[in-house]
Amino acid sequence: MKRNSIITKITIWYTVFILVIAVILVTIVEFSWADNAADAAQTDLIDEVTDASEHIVWVSDGFFLLDDEIELYDDNVYISIYDRNKKLIEGRFPAGVYGGSVFEDENISKVCTEDGEEWFIYDRMFMIDRNPVWVRGIIENPAESGSFAFIFRMVIICIPLLVIAAAVGGYIITKRAFAPVREVTEAARGIQKSGDLSRRIDRSGNNDEIDRLADAFNGMFDSLETTFNNQKQFISDVSHELRTPLAVMISQSEYGMEDAEYSGRALQAINRSAKSMSSLVSRLLTLSRSDSGRLNPEREDIDLSELCELTAEQQNVIAKEKGVSIVTDIQEGVHITGDYAMVIRILVNLIDNAVKYGKNPDGTGNVKLSLATSGCFARVDVADDGPGISEEHIDKIWDRFYQAGRSSNDSAGLGLSIVKSLTEVHGGKCDVKSKPGSGSVFSVWFPKN
């Protein structure tokens, strides 16, 4: 038995419980049942003596006759009849118990035999046609009888055996009942040892507590596996993204060192790569802060109408150079509470994507930035009339490092996940509606003031 196992604890608990119940029962039998049995015997004794008196007939001159119906032994009671001089007329006696010659009217006395038996003796004087006659009844005290003592002794002997049997039987039953828990534990340990998070614990199919425990473990393994895979993917994506600028920096620095004339251009290339790395690292930092709840946006009043107008104007200058024009449809006076820099970043990211990916094959494009209130929210839509996003990509474009089909060179697939994190930290949400060939509409909702 393992000291700290639940099985041992349960076994000890109910063994003690059974022992206590047994002791209580024996005590009750000893004190209550024994008393009741003695009382009942005394009542029988009195009844039988009274009964016997009804079958005594006085004849004459100190003569008594007993009728045929008298029972000198009935209901475990021995009856004997005596005349006024306490001379026995007729009677039956248990072996070794006579009762002596002292008669006390309506008194129950006790005598003990050598075998340790206890007997009650009851004497009563009746007047039969004004002639006194004594009737004596004798009955064994059942609480002190040999059979009772034997049963009692047996019970006392059986209790320890019963407790031992209950402890052993209970231990075996509990162990069997806990076998599925052991299997679940072993399975979980196996998964931990092998490090194979794709393994799952088998369910028995009984839908019982053990199955629910297995489900809970499997659910935990699901999330661990997802987190672990995401981490793996993340590390591989980050390494992949950093590899290109690093390779550029290494090769350019080598060229620069070999060729003094080329060093100026090499430094420029290194600078560009360093900037790209720095931008990537700063985006990763934003996401990491968002994951750990350390993004802490400012809570200032923002005139979102004004901010949208301003951002659209600034982005339009850049977009125009790329052949894309930005138009606006902005509701006046819409205010939200949030972080100015973060909201700008959301708008710029979406407009930038619309300009980048929303262009038509001829290199032109139209982007529309709209702002309107919708219930308790301020809704910003960034729509383009570009190629749109196919169904296979649309659910994944919010994932980190996900790039659907045509992606720009300076992108790393982090823009939309940053938009999502920044929006959510403002208590808002994002959505996209797109049909291949019909453009896309990215929407962001902020709780309005």
* Chain residues that interact with ligand ADP, rule: CB under 6 A: 353-354, 357-358, 384, 386, 389, 397, 402-405, 407, 411-417, 440
Least gap, CB of 349 to ligand ADP (angstroms): 6
Least gap, CB of 353 to ligand ADP (angstroms): 3
Q: What is the DSSP string of 240-304?
A: HHHHHHHHHHHHHHHHHHH-GGGHHHHHHHHHHHHHHHHHHHHHHHHHHHHHTT------EEEEH
Distance CA 367, CA 351 (A): 8
Residue with smaller CB distance to ligand ADP, 137 or 365: 365
- Angle (CA) 7-13-16 rounded to 5° is 135
Residue with smaller CB distance to ligand ADP, 62 or 405: 405
Least gap, CB of 252 to ligand ADP (angstroms): 24
Residue with smaller CB distance to ligand ADP, 307 or 416: 416
- Angle (CA) 248-254-257 rounded to 5° is 135
Least gap, CB of 305 to ligand ADP (angstroms): 23
Residue with smaller CB distance to ligand ADP, 169 or 436: 436
Residue with smaller CB distance to ligand ADP, 263 or 403: 403
**Cβ contact 394:415 at 8 Å:** no
Q: In 31-145, where does DSSP find H-type helix?
A: 34-53
> Cβ neighbours of residue 188 under 8 Å, at least 6 residues apart?
201, 217
Least gap, CB of 407 to ligand ADP (angstroms): 4
Residue 33's identity, in one-letter code, is W
Least gap, CB of 363 to ligand ADP (angstroms): 15
Residue with smaller CB distance to ligand ADP, 137 or 386: 386
Smallest Cα–Cα separation from 384: which of 432, 430, 419? 432
Residue in the block written with tokens 């009274």: 50
Least gap, CB of 270 to ligand ADP (angstroms): 23
Residue with smaller CB distance to ligand ADP, 134 or 357: 357
